[in-house]
Copies of this chain bind each other. A is one copy, B any other.
Amino acid sequence: MATMLQRCSRASKALIGTGKLTPKLYKMYVQATRTLSSLPASPSPSFPDEYPHAEMRTTYPGPRSIALGKELAQVQHTGAVQFFVDYAASRGNYIVDVDGNRYLDIFCQIASLPIGYNHPAIVAAMSNPSNLAMLSQRPCLGNLPPADWLPMLQGTLGSIAPRGCSEMVTLMCGSCANENAFKAAFIWYQTNARGGRPPSDADFASSMHNTAPGSPALSILSFQGGFHGRLLGCLSATHSKALHKVDIPAFDWPVAPFPRLQYPLADYEAENASEEARCLAHVADLLARHNTHRTETSQVAGIVVEPIQAEGGDFHASPSFFRALQQLAANHGAAFIVDEVQTGGGSTGRFWAHEHWALPSAPDLVTFSKKLQTGGYFAKPAFRPAEGYRIFNTWMGDPVKMLQLDAFLTTMREDNLLENTEITGDYLRAGLMELAARFPGVLGNVRGVGTYIAVDFATPASRDAMIVRLRQLGLQCGGCGDRALRFRPALIFQPRHAAECLNILEHACTETR
């Protein structure tokens, strides 16, 4: 078996390098290699000096991590700390902790690490003397952009801009991206309502007291289970975990159900179609009440949705669901805002997850952060306010992150990493299906696209215990929702890494018997 996997991995690697291995061809390999009983010998990795495999020297968490955590607790909450990291020693798909434990990382800094640890392209960008001026002071990009700001934007964001979204706004993080996209939607909605005229004196005056008409009762429609960040605006659109929301005042914005599909999809076609129709009907009803009949307090200026509800538990919907959603938004004068903070950056096998939907036209606004290193959003031209300073911040992003984004995108193209992700994802998903078949009470609901995959465990407690156990076995991973394990590896995650991951998971599942 090891030999099969090894051969498969080598063949894949050789072909990936030439760009000749199609997903279909690779599936044939996968068919033959479902049974994972031992780690394949590692082919020489394409990542220079990458470690051959995970290796644990202590248990998880290691004694030094525990000691450092106790010390840190003097000045910060450490309830979310997993372990302390030796970032200089981490490399490629492997993260090394302060106890010398080396984990295969399928969580990658909450899905924010694009091409692994200490990737040579990023190291080169950060040590290139010609970038030193950009590293040594942080410009106010909105006031005083560097000379090459436009080429820097065009060479990075311009190369991945959704068709029709010519507007590019850089910001600080995902929450900041979403809040500013909301603001752009509000300004656009009110400008439309005024027939394109600027705000009136009464608008300006009342806004200074947080009252209407200047501070209008507008809302963003969001979905149960969605996550759009933790600032006060986007937290009102977040409904993934109550602990994130409780005790914080919220805008009374409408919330619709998001489909809860049953797996395997092929077995539940009718049920899933009906579930999506139910959710769409709910959205349509909310929009009618808020925007058409105006029987509710607020008007919906935008609908915000994740392509895959990530923090909420990796819930998917079909392309036709999203196409219908876009149409509903357009019919009711609301912006269609796609939050690609976690899904963007290639891990679904396309750079943007919404590329899987075959939309007739681009979303109105697409927000991003995480793997792109810079937060921000793309927008259609209509979402540019007429006046300056309305979407503004001291820094408006950070050119250092643009240098990293440039290194990421260049590497992604040169190394065919989207194709690698599709191939590795097919292989990983096939392996997980096999584990689900072998461990039916333990693990199930295998779902995902590219390497953006999740599985469910039986209960929240068994999922939580599984995460600890997987770390003890050398797999750095993270959950989402109540009982899901999510896979968020970097784009350099290859079939050999997926095989290692599957072996660790198989080992842990076997123990639960």
A residues with a Cβ closer than 8 A to B are 68, 71-72, 74-88, 90, 95, 98, 109-110, 112-113, 117-119, 122-123, 126-127, 129, 132-140, 142-147, 149-150, 153-154, 158, 166-169, 172-176, 179, 182-183, 186-187, 189-191, 199, 203-205, 207-211, 214-219, 224, 229-234, 236, 239, 241-253, 255, 298, 369-370, 373, 384-385, 387-395, 400
Which of B95, B233, B242 contacts A233, CB < 8 Å? B233
Known: A168-B75, A210-B251, A252-B211. A394 touches B174 (CB 8 A): yes
- For A373, the chain B residues whose CB sits under 8 A away are 138
Can you name 29 A-B pairs with beta carbons within 8 Å?
A72-B149, A75-B154, A79-B387, A84-B145, A86-B146, A86-B147, A98-B147, A109-B137, A109-B138, A109-B140, A109-B143, A112-B140, A119-B136, A126-B135, A173-B176, A173-B395, A183-B230, A199-B247, A204-B243, A207-B248, A208-B239, A208-B245, A214-B245, A218-B249, A230-B393, A231-B233, A232-B251, A233-B233, A400-B400
Considering the complex, give the chain B residue whose CB is closest to the CB of A245: B207
Asked whether, in the complex, the Cβ of A232 is within 8 Å of the Cβ of B232, the reply is: yes
Indicate if the CB atoms of A182 and B251 lie closer than 8 Å. Answer: no
The 6 A-B pairs of least Cβ separation, nearest first, read A79-B388, A232-B233, A204-B242, A215-B250, A88-B133, A210-B250
Most chain B beta-carbon neighbours within 10 Å: one of A175, A203, A218? A175
**A137: which B residues are within 8 A, CB to CB?**
87, 90, 109, 113, 117-118, 122
Instruction: Known contacts A216-B247, A217-B249; decide if A153 and B76 are in contact (CB<8 Å).
Output: yes
Given A187-B247, A187-B248, 17 extra CB contacts under 8 A: A68-B149, A77-B391, A79-B389, A80-B143, A85-B144, A87-B146, A109-B137, A109-B143, A127-B135, A186-B248, A203-B247, A204-B242, A208-B239, A209-B255, A215-B249, A231-B233, A232-B234
In the bound complex, what is the Cα–Cα distance between A134 and B34 (angstroms)?
Answer: 39
Secondary structure at the A interface, as helix, strand, loop or mixed, is loop
List, in ascending order, chain B residues with CB within 8 A of A233's CB.
Answer: 231-233
Given known A-B contacts A132-B127, A210-B252, A249-B216, A144 and B242 have beta carbons under 8 A apart: no
Asked if B166 and A75 make an inter-chain contact with CB atoms under 8 angstroms apart, the answer reads: yes
CB distance from A301 to the nearest CB of B (A): 9
State how many angstroms separate the Cβ of A385 from the closest Cβ of chain B.
7
CA distance A207 to B241 in the complex (A): 9
Q: Residues of B contacting A174 with CB < 8 Å?
A: 394
Other-chain residue from B80, B182, B231, B248 in contact with A142 (beta carbon distance below 8 A): B80
List chain B residues, Cβ under 8 A from A211: 250, 252
* Least CB separation from A115: chain B residue: B137
* Interface contact B205-A242, CB-CB below 8 Å: yes
A129 to B118, CA, bound (A): 13
* CB neighbours of A246 from chain B (8 A): 199, 203-204, 207, 214-215
Report how far A147 CA is from B71 CA in the complex, Å. 12
**Contact B190–A247 (Cβ < 8 Å):** yes
Contact of A389 with B80 in the complex, beta carbons under 8 Å = yes
CA distance A261 to B232 in the complex (A): 33
CB pair A393 B79 closer than 8 Å: no
Complex Cα distance, B72 from A167, in Å, reads 10
A168 to B241, CA, bound (A): 25
